[in-house]
Amino acid sequence: MPIERRCSPRKPVAMEVRLHHPSAGEVIAITRNISIEGMFVETDTTALSDDTELEVSFVTVGDTGPQQHRVSAYIVHRNAAGIGLMLRHVAYSNFHALRFLLEAA
């Protein structure tokens, strides 16, 4: 059995995200699971390789309506179903949005 290297567990969450990278443009993907530190997204994009830095954007809906979030990330692994992302430099508001999504899951 593989050793879990994550500090926070991932939970199953399916939501639309957009991956942004200058060479690949904008790629729409669906999350399979998320954590405070990362996410796995289902996508068939082959334009991006491991260790590629990109941005992930997603929308949450709260009391004040929809809120757009944008987080820096990089690709840590891939398989036939999609790519695993590690989030970087998560701003306070994005951290709380991710916590909200995890608590609702």
Residues 97 and 59: beta-carbon distance below 8 Å:
no
Phi and psi (nearest 5°) for 31? -70, 145
* pLDDT at 4 (0 to 100): 47
pTM beyond cutoff 0.85:
no
Beta strands in the chain (DSSP E): 11-12, 16-21, 25-34, 38-42, 53-62, 65-79, 82-88
Q: Worst-scoring range by mean pLDDT, 32-46, 64-78, 80-94?
A: 80-94
Between CA 24 and CA 41 the distance in angstroms is 16
Residue 9, token pair as written in the block: 């567990």
What are the tens digits of pLDDT across the range 34-59? 988 999 999 877 777 888 899 999 99
Region 11-104: CATH code? 2.40.10.220
